[in-house]
Amino acid sequence: MPYLSVIIPVYNAERYLDDCLESIKKQTFTDFEIIIVDDGSTDESPRICDKHAEEDERIRVIHVSNGGPSKARNIGFSKARGEYIYCIDNDDYISTCDYFQSIHDSLSQMPVDLLQTGAAYIKGGASAPSKTLTFSRLEDETILHPGLVLSVVLTGVNYETSCWTKVIRREFLLEHKLFFDETLTVEDFDWNMRMLPVLTSYNLLPVTDYVHVYRKGSITSATGERNFKNCLDQVMTIRRWSERFVADSRMDKNLKDGLLSFICYQYLITLGKCVTLAPKHRREIFRNLKELRYILNYARGRKTRLVMWFERFFGFRALTFLMEIYFKKMRHSA
């Protein structure tokens, strides 16, 4: 049984796939398997996947009809044999040779359900600052009080929902049926909201060896109609989990405060994403978010609390203008 199962959903990634796979194959830690799920690609990706599988016995390729990245990852989860599971996007890569070794060393010293890493973020190949988790040592508290540690991480808005910053114990994933919701286009947020409340142990690995590349056409860069669907998914997820967490009197208070604070942050991000929507779609999203503005009461971070007070003094309409101006500036500077 391999120590690590690496899941890679692939769809029309012929330009990037070789670099992604070579960066994994060159790792000094070798006790891993790679499960590639070719999600109905129509370019040369299937041939590239099969070529790498022929060259490396650790690689398995599963060809399926197109169903989206969530379905592809779920297929990978069901086929994984490793003690831990890790997802990688087909157009990202690992910048060092000892990244997997760092993961193994951390989990050997402290086995946990979930190990969170940092990442470097670049746009279309141009250099960008790394995003590093900067915390004092939390190991002594991590296992005894995971809710307390997560509260600190979530409140500080240093928690990254993307699955490529998560190394998760396979038995934990299967026990709690932590598969992605295949009906959502923005699935990571919901996945985290289901996973975090059931964690019994958690740790941080503050390294940025994983490189995530923002590319035109990706979900994170979506505009127009696609962004409207993304925003609807976010609104639905915010509503579902904020209502559930607020009503849950048995949840650890530290964890509840952290989760609601993080949902508040996602709420503000969703407001900002409305910048590119058509007026009729923007009105629909704003109407839903106005109904959910109570989530601002759970702001814990410095910036989110400032936004909360702004909304209290000037109202929701003024807040929408503020967030639109802020995110337009962010898009122009990206």
**Final residue of a domain: which of 188, 214, 240?**
214
- Residue 143 scores a pLDDT above 60: no
**The domain containing residue 27 runs over which residues?**
4-214
- Kindly state whether residues 48 and 185 are assigned to the same domain: yes
Q: Kindly report whether the global pTM for this prediction surpasses the value 0.75.
A: yes
Instruction: Tell me the mean pLDDT in the region 92-103.
Output: 97
Residue 220 in this model has a pLDDT that exceeds 50 = no
Dist. CA 304–CA 69, nearest whole Å = 31
8 Å CB contact between 212 and 92: yes
Average pLDDT over residues 66-74: 97
For the segment 305-324, the average pLDDT, to the nearest whole number, is: 91
Is the pLDDT at 199 greater than 50? The verdict is yes
Name the pairing type of β-strands 93-94 and 210-214: antiparallel
Tell me, yes or no, whether 166 and 258 share the same domain. no
Are 286 and 326 contained in the same domain? yes
CATH code (residue 162): 3.90.550.10
142 and 267 in a single domain? The answer is: no
* In a shared domain, residues 116 and 235: no
